[in-house]
Amino acid sequence: MNSLVIAVYEVRRLIRSRGVLLNLFLLPLVLIFLLGSALSGIFNATELPGGTVKVAVVGERAEPALKMLETYVSEPEVAKRIRTEEAASRQEAEEMLRSGSADYALLFPDGFGSAVQRGEEARVTLLPGKDRSRNLTAGLVLGSFVDEINYRQAAAIVGGPEAAVPAAAPSGADAASAPRSYVQPGRLGTGIETYSASQYYAAAMLIMFLFYSGMAVNTSLNLEKSGHTLQRLHSLPVAYSSVFAGKLLGNGFVAVIQALVIIGFSRFAYGVDWGNRLPLVLLIAGLVILVSMSLSVMLSLLFPRGATAKALLQVLIIVMTFLSGGFSPMPGEVMRQLSLFTVNHWAFQGLLRIMLAGELNGIMSSIVPLLWITAACLLLMVVVYRKVGYRE
């Protein structure tokens, strides 16, 4: 009963605070609107960046791989993106890249096709140009061609040179039923094709500001110490644990209201589609709240000076949001690996998969690690509380 009374008082104190209303409720909604509107053109693009890419190709005219490449780039979907130009040597291809007459280069060494058919080591060289978006387009489109070469090389290693030669094209009645093209446009997932800027930043800001809501526990716990009211409360028939539990309940309730406001307002005011699995969205938000409050409590107890704990929390929130791509999608394998060690990554990916109407197994692959992280944080919080305690 004492904990509930303290929780009610905590909720009333937080709701009456203009700083809480502005920073935890209004600011995330403003950021979602501004970022979603400003970057809508980038996130809503339905085509690959860069337009038609000019690729300089170096290799012998009789090279089988060049004939494969000609067939590949003649496909209608590929022809929209790739246009090949012949180059006599690597030096000429590099000069074309420097001058801008080519955007990308593909180099076949002498005897490349024969080496592939024999199952021997063979390397094709890809030279990117100056434009990052065109490099991305060329890499994505030519990736299927390189995969086909790798497949033939692997087939030659296992089954001999004959296995590397593609089967003859069907004729007669079978030709009508045979696939006309190896390149077919498709959709990722079973729902919408991609998320919008508003969806992306709604998920990112929800997670980040739920962590800031958890940081309010740090302020609340230290407020009783700095005001020397904790000892007075303890002089009454109120245990330190009751005060501690009341603080957590009150701040947790406000964090839940904050999550509901952000999700509901962004849905009806901005048209943000949170997917068709709202209970899973709320589950992820609840797990983030538990993690944020656990981290806030641990740092508050380990660092008696409230300013130190608050500064550490702010740095931790910013770093985790940055690494998980909350400010901008992070390129590079190194950054992706680092993001796996952040709470934001698992919550963020789970929300995006829900928004994209992904399969339940894919969504749970993000929620399950988040569950383990939450359990570990709660356990550590209990251990720290038992070792340090909450008292003046």
Final residue of a structural domain among 143, 176, 209: 176
**Which 8-state DSSP code applies to residue 73?**
H
Q: Has residue 151 got a pLDDT over 70? A: no
Assess whether 222 and 281 both reside in one domain.
yes
Predicted pLDDT of residue 189: 44
Q: Band the pLDDT of 51: cuts 50, 70, 90.
A: low
Assess whether 233 and 145 both reside in one domain.
no
Kindly give, in sequence order, each residue whose CB lies less than 8 Å from that of residue 199, ignoring residues fewer than 6 positions away. Answer: 36, 272, 273, 274, 352, 355
High-pLDDT (> 90) share of the chain, %: 26
Predicted pLDDT of residue 319: 93
Assess whether 105 and 207 both reside in one domain.
no
CA distance 4 to 48: 55
In a domain, 183, yes or no: no
Q: Has residue 185 got a pLDDT over 50? A: no
Predicted pLDDT of residue 44: 53
Predicted pLDDT of residue 344: 92
**Which 8-state DSSP code applies to residue 305?**
S
Predicted pLDDT of residue 194: 66
Assess whether 200 and 162 both reside in one domain.
no
Assess whether 37 and 64 both reside in one domain.
no
Final residue of a structural domain among 141, 176, 211: 176
Final residue of a structural domain among 144, 176, 208: 176
Q: Which two tokens stand for residue 28?
A: 């995330």
Q: Band the pLDDT of 258: cuts 50, 70, 90.
A: very high
High-pLDDT (> 70) share of the chain, %: 80
In a domain, 186, yes or no: no
- Alpha-carbon torsion, ordered 70, 71, 72, 74, to 10 deg: 80
In a domain, 206, yes or no: yes
Number of residues in the chain:
392
Domain tally, the chain = 2
In a domain, 94, yes or no: yes
CA distance 171 to 91: 43
Average pLDDT over residues 269-280: 91
* Structural domain of 61: 53-176
Q: Has residue 157 got a pLDDT over 70? A: no
Between 180 and 251, name the one with better pLDDT: 251
Assess whether 163 and 297 both reside in one domain.
no
Q: Band the pLDDT of 286: cuts 50, 70, 90.
A: very high
**Which 8-state DSSP code applies to residue 22?**
I
Predicted pLDDT of residue 154: 65
Predicted pLDDT of residue 351: 93
Number of Cβ within a 10 Å radius of residue 14: 23
Average pLDDT over residues 340-350: 91
Predicted pLDDT of residue 287: 96
For the purposes of burial, counting CB atoms within 10 Å of the CB of 238, is it exposed (0-12), middle (13-18) or buried (19 or more)? middle
Average pLDDT over residues 221-225: 79
Q: Has residue 172 got a pLDDT over 60? A: no
CA distance 100 to 327: 32
Assess whether 353 and 214 both reside in one domain.
yes
Q: Has residue 36 got a pLDDT over 60? A: yes
In a domain, 205, yes or no: yes
Average pLDDT over residues 161-173: 45
Assess whether 242 and 334 both reside in one domain.
yes
Q: Has residue 60 got a pLDDT over 80? A: no
Average pLDDT over residues 231-246: 78
Assess whether 248 and 324 both reside in one domain.
yes
The CATH number given to whatever domain includes residue 69 is 3.40.190.10
Assess whether 279 and 222 both reside in one domain.
yes
Distances (CA, A) of 321 to 125, 170, 225, 281: 36, 54, 30, 18
Q: Band the pLDDT of 206: cuts 50, 70, 90.
A: very high
In a domain, 182, yes or no: no
Assess whether 333 and 379 both reside in one domain.
yes
Average pLDDT over residues 227-239: 73
Predicted pLDDT of residue 68: 77
Q: How confident is the prediction for the chain on average, in pLDDT?
A: 80
> Positive or negative CA dihedral for 43, 264, 367, 253?
positive
Predicted pLDDT of residue 75: 79
pLDDT tens digits, 363-383: 898 999 999 999 999 999 999
Model pTM? Answer: 0.64
Average pLDDT over residues 32-40: 84
In a domain, 294, yes or no: yes
Q: Band the pLDDT of 187: cuts 50, 70, 90.
A: very low
Assess whether 9 and 86 both reside in one domain.
no
Average pLDDT over residues 206-235: 82
In a domain, 170, yes or no: yes
Predicted pLDDT of residue 177: 41
Whether the CB-CB separation of 106 and 149 falls below 8 Å is answered with: no
Predicted pLDDT of residue 191: 45
